[in-house]
Amino acid sequence: MAKPCWFRASSPDAMVTLFSLCPTAFENRSLGSIWLSGERRSPLQVLYDLDQSLSSPLAEVHRQRRDLLRQTCSRLTRRQHLLRPEDLRHVLVDDAHGLLYCYVPKVACTNWKRVLLALSGRARSDPRTIPARQAHAPGSLPSLADFTPAEINKRLRSYLTFLFVREPFERLASAYRNKFARPYSEAFQRRYGTRIVRRLRPRANPDALARGHDVRFAEFLGYLLDPRTRRDEPFNEHWERAHALCHPCRLRYDVVGKFETLTEDASFVLDLVGEPDLRFPMPPRPKGAAPRDQAARLFQDISPFYQRRLFDLYKMDFLLFNYSTPSYLRLR
């Protein structure tokens, strides 16, 4: 049996108790599930059978990722924070297929939302034809946070839970380019860019103060490292750490997919679901330099002192998901 972990979460009216499974060794949580009947096996059951048969090299890769995540959590998280229902806001639910997916922005989350919409029958059957605005529309997919504690617990016990992660600084560089270095994010730039310019750019011109359209990478990093930023409000999801969005040391993840192996890992999940013919909409190939080189170029003008501070801020994501320290960093 998995070790039960109980968390109390404050609500305006009462204390709510959530049950989850601590990330111990993988086991068959789908046995006894009441949501699935008949001959069809749940994705979690399929994964359990693969894990027992030792016949799938890719299943072995994912077993090793689970084990590493469990071991790292055990080593680094002696004191756990209390889990609230609101902490589950990024975990999306597909009751029809028994899936829980925690989305991390800048890690193919738009395409995974398209896939879940297609699987659930809420949109066209070909996810590649679903507009991005529909995929991101509020309420288009149910969140685990919308359910009662009892309903949450039932799904945590019997559904396949997965997330996709990415090399942290490549994800951060992608967020900066997408939100601050391109002209079509005007609303985003007015909300965050003006705040960054006002705080970090002495004698900024009125146009920059009004539009926030020309934020420099060093200013963006300065904003992230400024203690006032997280004191005023949580990080925006586009640069929040993956572990802070998905709580992998509190929730049990059966599959940890990676952006760097997106094709193989997406196919692996769809095979578990029993939809191997569903085409995952792959993101377009990047133009110009590779993501690592683009990140290296952005970091080359950042001082070693601030590189170290930023690495410390994102260090948990590097460790939990087995990413090496980038060679372009000059850490002291």
Tell whether 310 and 179 lie within a shared domain.
Answer: yes
**Domain contains 77:** yes
* Residue in 51, 43, 4 with CA at minimum distance from that of residue 26: 51
pLDDT at 23 over 60: no
Tell whether 107 and 164 lie within a shared domain.
Answer: yes
> Any idea which of 9-23, 39-53, 118-132 has the lowest mean pLDDT?
9-23
Tell whether 132 and 253 lie within a shared domain.
Answer: yes
Q: According to DSSP H, which parts of 121-191 are helical?
A: 132-135, 149-158, 168-180, 186-188
Mean pLDDT of the chain: 87
Instruction: Determine the residue type at 52.
Output: Q
Q: Give 148-193 pLDDT, tens digit per residue.
A: 999 999 999 999 999 999 999 999 999 999 999 888 788 899 999 9
**Domain contains 325:** no
Tell whether 244 and 309 lie within a shared domain.
Answer: no
pTM for the full predicted model: 0.89
Tell whether 308 and 204 lie within a shared domain.
Answer: yes
> Total structural domains in the chain?
2
Tell whether 264 and 309 lie within a shared domain.
Answer: no
Domain that holds residue 259: 4-168+238-273
Which letter, b or e, does each residue of 289-302 get, where b requires 16 or more Cβ atoms within 10 Å of its Cβ?
A: eebbebbbebbeeb
Mean pLDDT across 317-323: 98
**Domain contains 219:** yes
Tell whether 117 and 143 lie within a shared domain.
Answer: yes
**Domain contains 281:** no
Tell whether 36 and 53 lie within a shared domain.
Answer: yes
pLDDT value of residue 13:
35
**Domain contains 135:** yes
Share of the chain above pLDDT 90, in %: 71
**Tokens standing for residue 303:** 């001082």
Burial of 329 (C-beta count, 10 Å sphere; 0-12/13-18/19+):
middle
Tell whether 82 and 151 lie within a shared domain.
Answer: yes
Tell whether 187 and 96 lie within a shared domain.
Answer: no
Tell whether 149 and 20 lie within a shared domain.
Answer: yes
105: left (phi over 0), alpha (psi -120 to 50) or beta: beta
Tell whether 64 and 101 lie within a shared domain.
Answer: yes
Helix axes 57-76, 262-273, angle to 10 degrees: 100
In degrees and rounded to multiples of 5, residue 102 shows phi and psi of -95, 115
Q: How far apart are CA 106 and CA 120, in angstroms?
A: 23
Q: Give 83-95 pLDDT, tens digit per residue.
A: 888 899 999 999 9
